[in-house]
Structure 1
Amino acid sequence: MDRWYRIDNTGKIFHAVSSATNSSVFRVSMIMKGTVDPGHLQAALDVVAVRFPTLTVRVRKGLFWDFMEHNDEQLLVKPETDHPCSPIDRKENNAYLIRVLYFEKRISVEIFHSLTDGGGAMEFLKTLVYQYLRESGEDVATDGLILDPEDAPDPEEMEDSFERHATSSVMKRPARRAEKAYQIKGEAFEPPGINVIHGVVDGADLNAFAKQQGTSLTGFLTSVLIEAIHEERMRRDMTDGTVSIALPISLRRQFPSVTLRNFFSVANIRVPVDGYMNLDDIIREVTGQLISHTDKGALQESINRFVSLQSSWLVRAMPVLVKYPIMRIGFNQYGERSKTMTFSNLGNIQMPDAIKPHVDRMEVILYPTRKSPINCAFGTLNGNLTISFARSIEENDIIRAFFRSLAKITGLDVQVYSNEWGELQ
C-alpha cells in the first residue's frame, strides 16, 4: 500500500491561499563554480529523491483535508526557462510539488510551501549538491553537516513538530485582528513575471557592523529596510504610518526538532515611523520587538494557537469546499493586511570543507503576492551574504534605496545584479 502523509499544520494554509497572484512557491539556489552538467544533476536527483519522502510526493484531494502520498514517477531536472517562483503545473511536473532547475552555474530547488519551509528546502539542496559533486567525480564527504543520501530517513524528519510541541496551557491572550500596515503599490508587470534583484556583501563584515549598532544582523537589515520603505513613501505622498515587516522565525532552535516539514512562526515587526524618526530610533524599536517576539513563551503561544485552531471539532468537521474559502479570508485579514513585506533570513549555511571550493554563494527567493508585491530573503554561504528582492511590479525605488543606504551606512561593497525581468537602474 502506498505511504501517505497528513499535511502539516502550516502547510494546510498554503493549500488554501495559493492563487494566480500567490504561487506559494519559493526558491533556494546554490551558485556553483563550474557550469552545471544536467546529466550528473539528474543522476544525483534520482538518488536524493528517495532520501526525502515527504518532499517527493503527490497531493490528493480529501473531503476534510488534502493529503500527500508517495509519488512513483521520476522527478526530472529541467533547464530554467521561466521566471522564479512561477506556479507549479502538476501535469507538467509528474504531479510533484517540487522542481529542480539548472541555469549555467545555478542549481535551484523550487518548492510549494505546503511541503516544507526554508530550513527543510535547504537540507534538500545541500544533499543534492553533495550528491551532484559525487556524480561529477569529486571526492567529497558530508562531515556531519549534510544528510547522507545513503542513510534511511529518520522518522522524526517526517513529523509535524507543531503537534509534538503543542501544550495544553491556556493561551494568555486571544488572537487579535491585526492592524492594517502600509502596503506597497505599483504597476504589475505585463506580461506577469518576477524581477529579482540580488545584492552580495561580505557576511562577516556586515554582521560585525550590526553588532556595533547594538543589534543582530536580522535586526540591522530589517531596520535599514524599514527606513528605505518609509523614505520612499514620504517622497511619494508625504504620509506617516506603520511599516510592518513579517519575519519568519524557525522554531527548531527553541523547540528541538529535525523535521523537514514546516516548523516556523512569523513575527510582525511594526514600526510607526514619521518624518522625525532616524535609523538609530528604528534599530532600537526593531531590536526590542525581535527580542520579545522570539521569546520562548511567545513562540509557545504561537504553536498552541496554530494547533488549537485546526484541531477544533468545528474546523475538522468542515469539508474542504467550505474550509478553504474561510481560511483564505482569514489569511487576508490576519496575514496579508498586517504586513508591508516579508523578510526572511535563512542564516549562515555550513558546508563541508571539501565542498566549499565548488560552491560560490546561495540565493533565496520569496514569491511576491498581490498585497505584498515585493518580498525579500537573505542567507550566507562561504562568507557571501546574498540579499534577494523579488518583485511583481515595475517600481523598484525601495530596492534601490535599500542597497544605496546599506552601502552608504556600512561603507561595505555591495555587488548588485538582476535577472532578465529588469535591471537595477
Structure 2
Amino acid sequence: MDQWYKIDNTGKIFHAVSNASNSAVFRVSITLHETIDPKILQEALDIVVLRFPTLNVRVRKGLFWDFLEQNDQVLKVKEETDYPCAPIDRKENNAFLIRVLYFGKRIAVEVFHSLTDGGGAAEFVKTLTYQYLKLKEENVSAEETELMLPNAPPKTEETEDSFLKYATVTNVKNPATNDKKAYQLKGTQLNPPGINVIQGFVDAAALNSYAKAQGTSLTGFLTSLLIKSIHMEKRRRKAEADLITIAMPVSLRRHFPSVSVRNFFSVSNIGVTMNDQIPFDDVIRSVTEQLIEKTDKAFLQAGINRFVSFQSHIWLRIVPVFIKYPVMRFAFNQLGERAKTMTLSNLGNIKLPDSMKPYVDSMDVILYPTNKSPINCGTATVNDKLTITFSRSIEDNEIIKRFFKELTRMTGLDVTAVSNGWGE
C-alpha cells in the first residue's frame, strides 16, 4: 500500500495561497566547477528521491484538507529553459511538486513550499550532488552527520510535523499577530511575465568580520542595508510610508532538535520606521535588538503555539477546502503580506563533507516574488563564498543596484554580479 502524509501545518497555507502570481515555488542550487552530465544526474536522482519520501509525493484532494501520497512515477531531470521558480505544472511533471533542473554547471532543485523549507531543500540538493559525484567516480565520501546518505533508510522522525511535536499550548485565545502595515514595493510587471534574478558574490568571512565590527551579525548587517537601500529609493520616489519591514524566515531546528525534512520554520518581521535623520548605526542597533528578541527560543515557542492553535480551530477542521482556502488566502494577503516590504531568507553557512568542497563553487537560494512583495532576497554561503540573490517580477531594479553599490562602498569588498537577463 502506498504511503501517505498529512500536509504539515505550514504547508497547508501554501496550498491555500498559491496562484498564478504567487507560485510558492522556491529554488536551492549548487554550482559545480564542471558541466553537469544529465544522464548521470538522472541516475543519481533515481536513487536519492527514494531517500526523501515526503518529497517523492503527489497531492490528492480531500474534503477538509488536501493530502500527499507516494508518487510511483519517475521524477525526470530537465534542462533549464524557463525563468526560476515558475509554477509547477503537475501534468507535465508526472504529478510531482518538485523538479530537478540542470544548466551548465548548476544543479537546481525547485520545490513547492508545502513540501519543505529551505533547510529541507538544501539537504536534498546536497545528497543529490553527493550521489552525482559518486556516480562520476569522483573521490568523495561522507558521514551521516554531514549529509543524509543516499542509501540510508529514511527515518520516521525525518517525516514528522515538528510543529505538532513541539507545541506546548494549543488553545491560544488570540492566535493572530499585531504586525503593522509596512511600506510595499510597486512597479510595472516584467514583459513577458517572469522572474529576473540578480546575484552578487562576496567573500563571506570578510563580510562577517565587517558586520561584527559594526556590532551585529552578517544577517543583521544585510537586513539593515536592505532597509537603508529601500528607504533611499523610497525617498527618491517621494513615497510617504515610513515603516520598512523585512520578513525573515527563521529555522526552528536551531532551538528545537528536529531532523524533519518538512517545513519547520517561523517568520520574524524586522521593521524600522525610517526618516532621513536616522543614522545607519541606529538602524543596525534596532535591527540587531529585534533579531535577538525574535530568534529567542521563548519567542519562537510562542509562535509555534500560536500557529498550531490557529490550525486547531474547529472551523478550520470542519469547513470544506473550497470554502476554507479562499478565506485563508484572504487572511494571508491582508495580515501576512501587508506586514512586510520584502523577504530575506538566509540559509546560512551550508556544511559539506570536506571531500565534496573542491567540486563545489557556490550555492544559492531563490525566492518567488508575489504581488505585494515583488522583490525578494535569498542568501547562502558555501566554501566561504556568500551568494546574495535578488528575484524580482517588476521592471524597476534600482533598490537592488543601490544595495550592491552601498555594500561595496561601506565594506570596500569586491562584489561580482550576474543576472539571468529575464525581462531586460
Fold conserved between structures, TM > 0.5 = yes
- The equivalent residue for 2:385 is 384
Q: Is the 8 A contact 2:175 2:309 kept in 1?
A: no
Q: Is the 8 A contact 2:220 2:288 kept in 1?
A: yes
More moved, 239-248 vs 251-260:
239-248
- The equivalent residue for 2:266 is 265
- The equivalent residue for 1:90 is 90
- The equivalent residue for 1:232 is 233
1-side partners of 2:74 and 2:108: how far apart? 18
Q: Is the 8 A contact 2:175 2:307 kept in 1?
A: no
- The equivalent residue for 2:64 is 64
2-side partners of 1:68 and 1:338: how far apart? 31
Residue identity in the other structure for 1:261: R
Residue identity in the other structure for 1:218: T
Q: Cα distance 1:175–1:33, how it changes in 2: closer, same or farther (>3 A)?
A: same
Residue identity in the other structure for 2:266: S
Question: Aligned-pair distance for 1:170?
Answer: 6.6
2-side partners of 1:240 and 1:89: how far apart? 38
Question: Aligned-pair distance for 1:160?
Answer: 0.1
Question: Aligned-pair distance for 1:174?
Answer: 4.9
Between the two proteins, the alignment pairs up a number of residues equal to: 423
Question: Aligned-pair distance for 1:167?
Answer: 0.5
1-side partners of 2:175 and 2:311: how far apart? 15
Q: Cα distance 1:242–1:392, how it changes in 2: closer, same or farther (>3 A)?
A: same
What SS does the aligned partner of 2:108 have?
A: strand
More moved, 242-251 vs 229-238:
229-238
What SS does the aligned partner of 2:9 have?
A: coil
Q: Is the 8 A contact 2:192 2:423 kept in 1?
A: no
Q: Is the 8 A contact 2:242 2:273 kept in 1?
A: yes
Q: Cα distance 1:197–1:297, how it changes in 2: closer, same or farther (>3 A)?
A: same
1:373 aligns with 2:374: yes
2-side partners of 1:382 and 1:244: how far apart? 30
1-side partners of 2:278 and 2:141: how far apart? 50
Q: Deviations over 1:282-335 (max 9, x none)?
A: 000100111111111111111011111111222100100111011001101111
2-side partners of 1:11 and 1:233: how far apart? 34
1-side partners of 2:41 and 2:332: how far apart? 37
1-side partners of 2:81 and 2:175: how far apart? 46
Residue identity in the other structure for 1:241: D
Q: Percent identity?
A: 63
What SS does the aligned partner of 1:122 have?
A: helix
Question: Aligned-pair distance for 1:238?
Answer: 5.2
Q: In structure 2, list runs of 5 or more residues that go unmatched.
A: none
2-side partners of 1:352 and 1:238: how far apart? 48
2-side partners of 1:66 and 1:174: how far apart? 23
- The equivalent residue for 1:22 is 22
Residue identity in the other structure for 1:13: I
1-side partners of 2:349 and 2:173: how far apart? 34
Q: Is the 8 A contact 1:240 1:275 kept in 2?
A: no
1:124 aligns with 2:124: yes
1:395 aligns with 2:396: yes
2-side partners of 1:172 and 1:226: how far apart? 33
1-side partners of 2:264 and 2:99: how far apart? 21
1-side partners of 2:11 and 2:171: how far apart? 24
Q: Is the 8 A contact 2:243 2:274 kept in 1?
A: yes
1-side partners of 2:232 and 2:289: how far apart? 22
1-side partners of 2:341 and 2:314: how far apart? 34
Q: Cα RMSD between the aligned structures?
A: 1.2
Question: Aligned-pair distance for 1:178?
Answer: 3.0
Q: Deviations over 1:6-25 (max 9, x none)?
A: 00000000000001000000
2-side partners of 1:301 and 1:176: how far apart? 11
What SS does the aligned partner of 2:270 have?
A: strand
1-side partners of 2:356 and 2:233: how far apart? 42
- The equivalent residue for 1:99 is 99
Residue identity in the other structure for 1:349: I
Question: Aligned-pair distance for 1:240?
Answer: 5.0
More moved, 4-13 vs 233-242:
233-242
- The equivalent residue for 1:290 is 291
1-side partners of 2:202 and 2:187: how far apart? 28
What SS does the aligned partner of 1:127 have?
A: helix
Q: In structure 1, list runs of 5 or more residues that go unmatched.
A: none
Structure 1 runs, 4 residues or longer, greater than 2 Å off:
168-178
2-side partners of 1:277 and 1:239: how far apart? 16
2-side partners of 1:350 and 1:271: how far apart? 32
What SS does the aligned partner of 1:69 have?
A: strand
2-side partners of 1:298 and 1:354: how far apart? 38
1-side partners of 2:421 and 2:58: how far apart? 32
